[in-house]
Amino acid sequence: MQEHFTVLGMMSGTSLDGVDLALVEFWQNEKWYFRLHAAETVPYTQQWQELLGNLENQSAFEYARIDVELGRYFGLLAKDFIARRQIKPLFIASHGHTIFHQPEIGLTTQIGCGATLAATSGYPVVCNFRKLDVALKGQGAPLVPIGDQILFSQYEFCLNLGGIANFSTDYQGRRISYDVTFNNLIFNYLSQKLGKPYDESGNLARSGQIQTDLLDLFQRDPYLQKPFPKSLGKEQFIAYYLPIIEKSNAKIEDLLCTAVYFVAGEIAKNIKWFNRSNAKVLLTGGGAFNQFLVELLQQLLPETKIVVPEPEIISFKEAIVFAFLGLLRYLEKNNVLSSVTGASMDSCSGVIWKV
């Protein structure tokens, strides 16, 4: 008899827009299939945004305290979300919220204490998906590509436009993926200077003018020249892009316009490198709602088909895939690909907390 597994996936991204929750059913019949039963995003309050947005500068005690508090908050969100549905999950798979990501020194941290989440929600929890890969000398990111390969195999490229833009694809008989550049992390930072949480549909950017000197500075980021596998953390945004933005006297609309042209150009350049005509590119993440960015991408990639799926997949694909990563961990199957991260081996990653 075919076995079905229902998992609640939880995701908190670098753009700090909120916590994504996705209740997903998985089953296997030669290949894996999934059905999304329910999903929602709970926006972070301003207090949470301020706490998480500045936590890397706080004391060790404050870091540890917020780790537990966020775990409790996640647990309450999960408990409420499940109570409003008829379907109960087998367990919760939580990505947590990344604070430090410096794999070159063996460091990656995702807070939202799994033990506290399990105790508060009353459900087992799978979390800490990145640490083992980093310990195996990998980047610990991106982790979604194994889900892309198994659940979304009909697309040649799976492009995620979250706080960071990354994509995955098959290359030389294996799955590879890497972070291209910052995306919503730049756009949201600039939009907030105008009192808006984000640039709706990219309209602010569309109204601006490209600043060629600024574009040139963005394009000089040394990270862009690094070979894959590679990944980005908020630290690089603070170190490289923030000083450039703060020194500029350009209008916010012009900064946004320049940033969108920069991001679109880098994504297009990287996809073109693989030299695949008529490829289908699945576009997900909050940036897929940025119509200006999507239009630019299609213009720069005329030989590819940019596929913008239904809003549920756009917004919750990462939460769906982390639910799947949790299931693979539960089944004791590899869920992190060394071909993506550069680790010494594939791994079955994640810590399980049972209640």
Q: Which domain holds residue 328?
A: 4-138+318-333+340-353
> Sheet containing 305-307: which strands, arranged edge to edge?
174-182, 164-171, 157-161, 280-284, 305-307
Least confident of 11-20, 230-239, 304-313: 11-20
Place of tokens 């969100």: 77
pLDDT tens, 248-303?
999 999 999 999 999 999 999 999 999 998 999 999 999 999 999 999 999 999 99
Q: Is 110 helix (H, G, I), strand (E, B) or coil?
A: strand
> Does residue 150 sit in the same domain as residue 66?
no
Q: Which regions of 219-288 does DSSP assign to beta strands (E)?
A: 280-284
pLDDT tens, 299-332?
999 999 999 999 999 999 999 999 999 999 999 9
> Does residue 97 sit in the same domain as residue 232?
no
> Does residue 89 sit in the same domain as residue 18?
yes
Number of domains in the chain: 2
Mean pLDDT of 18-39: 96
d(CA 132, CA 1): 34
* Residue 31, strand partner residues: 29
pLDDT tens, 105-131?
999 999 999 999 999 999 999 999 999
Asked if residues 159 and 324 have their Cβ atoms less than 8 Å apart, the reply is no
Q: What end-to-end distance do the CA atoms of the chain give, in Å?
A: 28
Q: Which of 180, 179, 196 is nearest to 188 (CA)?
A: 196
> Does residue 33 sit in the same domain as residue 99?
yes
> Does residue 134 sit in the same domain as residue 150?
no
Average pLDDT, the chain: 96
pLDDT over 70 percentage in the chain: 100
Using 50, 70 and 90 to split pLDDT, how confident is the model at 1?
low
> Does residue 151 sit in the same domain as residue 296?
yes
Say which CATH number the domain at 254 has.
Answer: 3.30.420.40
| Long-range contacts of the stretch 46-54 (C-beta < 8 A, 24+) | 48/73, 49/16, 52/16, 52/97, 52/99, 53/16
> Does residue 204 sit in the same domain as residue 308?
yes
> Does residue 171 sit in the same domain as residue 303?
yes
> Does residue 14 sit in the same domain as residue 111?
yes
> Does residue 266 sit in the same domain as residue 187?
yes
Count of helices and strands (H, E) across the chain:
14, 13
**Predicted local distance difference test score (pLDDT) of residue 217:** 98
Asked if residues 319 and 10 have their Cβ atoms less than 8 Å apart, the reply is yes
Q: What share of the chain is helix, strand, coil (3-state, %, to 5)?
A: 45, 25, 30
> Does residue 238 sit in the same domain as residue 262?
yes
d(CA 180, CA 160): 10
d(CA 141, CA 119): 28
> Does residue 57 sit in the same domain as residue 128?
yes
